[in-house]
Amino acid sequence: MKYFSTRGNVAGVGFIDAVLMGLADDGGLLLPEQIPHLTEADLARWSKLDYKALAHEIFSIYVDGDISPEDLTELIEQSYSTFRDPAVTPVRKLSDEAYVLELFHGPTFAFKDIALQFLGNLYSYISRKRNSIINILGATSGDTGASAIEGVRGKEGIRICILHPHQKVSRVQELQMTTVDDANVLNLAVKGNFDDCQQLIKELFADVEFKTKHHLRAINSINFARILAQTVYYFYAYFQVAAQHADAKINFSVPTGNFGDIFAGYLAKRMGLPIHKLILATNENNILERFVKEGAYQLGEFRMTHSPSMDIQIASNFERYLFYLHNGDAAQVERLMRQFKAEGQITIGSEQLTQVQTDFAAHGVSNDECLGTIRQTHETTGYLLDPHTACGIAAAKTHSGSGEITVTLATAHPAKFDESIQLAQIEQTFPAEISALFDKPQHQTIVDHSKEAVVEHIVKLYQA
Ligand SMILES: *Cc1c(COP(=O)(O)O)cnc(C)c1O
């Protein structure tokens, strides 16, 4: 399997090189040359596998010989044995029509661990195998940073710098990142919002000379390895639910920010998993909801919400979908992305809008609806949703047809977002791992929103 860029000027890249490249050298995003289509027999066989065995099947297709089967087994074992639940991503029933897929049993209590435990181990493996320097640079709205740091802290041959928006992440997210004292970790708290952080990173990665000189590696969901790791739980959850409800129409509702997680669902569907609807849930930063409903991808005003990990205007994975929407016309994608950069908007034709609405349903959840959903679900079922998952549940309620079953992705543990849970007037008890964070010293550097300031700090780390 080779990888190519959505903008058409990079092609024939193997899996490991695609992981190392992150953002494609022409500014586009990497995609696999073929998406395999599974037969019913494949699906039937996969439905009997446990999480790790299923991950091995799926990864093998896309890794395609770049990692030996034995090494892949070892990487998967290392990555998922750190999870607190033996099922890795268990499915819980809230009612006959509503399930949650719990993705928060990894070390940092958010779904990012599923991809980043794997990517951290993969980088370590690549560093050993290829003697390659790994200097990770990433931006985070909170969860990616904590998870990526946890994935590589203390690992030889790897350094990591994470930018987060200063004082715009939750207290627990900040502590998870900044209480790590390993010398290979640098936290930069940028005076700005997440989009500012992401923009800085994108600029640095787009400067191919700088990127090559400093061996910059990406952990953001522009990295295809992350998308790949996230397709596994769609299959896994689908099989669990389908086993209990033969012939049911099964939807997934996905709390979305960067379009990464929902793109993984889209990929699973294109591989032949018979997902009925993919429901895209946003918060008040609803650029993607407006795109699905109106066909215009247009920057709105940045808002702080109760679900900060989804406080994103520019969805960095959107370009991957745009490529498929335009039937693989890379020149058109390039033109549209240039237009978006210049004018802050893209509009698509009515035929394409019909396709978008076949692929996705969407709902933007207001702050009040988010808190109301947390309260109501807690009252009626006793289950405590985190505010991101609550957006997913609210969207599921809006779009589930009668007789359909909707699996909502539970993307974080509520303890990570106690500020919002308190606003819903619910008291929660923290897991011991989270309580322990409050006593540890913090390590972070506050910097201005400027490329020069960021460069100065990362160069120091990467040359250490
Ligand atoms: C990152 C994140 C999301 C959004 O995921 P995307 O892949 O960016 O769409 C949703 N919920 C939580 C808790 C997150 O950390």
What is the CA(256)–ligand 1 centre distance, in A? 6
Comparison of pLDDT for 464 and 335, the residue scoring more: 335
pLDDT at residue 117 is higher than 90: yes
pLDDT band for position 73 (cuts 50, 70, 90): very high
Mean pLDDT of the chain: 96
Q: Is the pLDDT of residue 141 over 80?
A: yes
As a three-state string, the secondary structure of the chain is CCEEECCCCCCCECHHHHHHHCECCCCCEEEECCCCCCCHHHHHHHCCCCHHHHHHHHHHHHHCCCCCHHHHHHHHHHHHCCCCCCCCCCEEECCCCEEEEECCCCCCCECHHHHHHHHHHHHHHHHHHHCCCEEEEEECCCHHHHHHHHHHCCCCCEEEEEEEECCCCCHHHHHHHHCCCCCCEEEEEECCCHHHHHHHHHHHHHCHHHHHHCCEEECCCCCHHHHHHHHHHHHHHHHHHHHHCCCCEEEEEEECCCCHHHHHHHHHHHCCCCCCCEEEEECCCCHHHHHHHHCEEECCCCCCCCCHHHCCCCCCCHHHHHHHHCCCCHHHHHHHHHHHHHHCEEECCHHHHHHHHHHEEEEECCHHHHHHHHHHHHHHHCCCCCHHHHHHHHHHHHHCCCCEEEEEEECECHHHHHHHHHHCCCCCCCCHHHHHHHHCCCCCEEECCCHHHHHHHHHHHHHC
Residues 234-261: tens digit of each pLDDT: 999 999 999 999 899 999 999 999 999 9
| Given the residues 52, 93, 112, 249, the one annotated as active site | 112
Please state the pTM of the whole predicted model. Answer: 0.95
Of 173, 227, 388, which is best to mutate to test ligand 1, by the most ligand atoms within 8 angstroms of its C-beta? 388
pLDDT band at 142; cut points 50, 70, 90? confident
Identify the band that residue 132 occupies on the pLDDT scale cut at 50, 70 and 90. confident
List domains and CATH numbers for the chain: 1-117+223-430 (3.40.50.1100)
pLDDT over threshold 90, residue 68: yes
pLDDT tens for each residue of 147-188: 999 999 999 899 999 999 999 998 999 999 999 999 999 999
For 350-360, write each residue's pLDDT tens digit. Answer: 999 999 999 99
Instruction: Look at residue 129 in the predicted model and tell me its pLDDT.
Output: 93
Residue 112 annotated as catalytic: yes
pLDDT band per the 50, 70, 90 thresholds, residue 312: confident
The CB of 239 under 6 Å from ligand 1? The reply is: no
The answer, yes or no, to whether any atom of ligand 1 lies below 6 A from the CB of 389, is: no
| pLDDT, tens digit (0-9, with 9 covering 90-100), for 196-241 | 998 999 899 889 999 999 999 988 888 999 999 999 999 999 999 9
Ligand 1 center–CA 261 separation, angstroms: 7
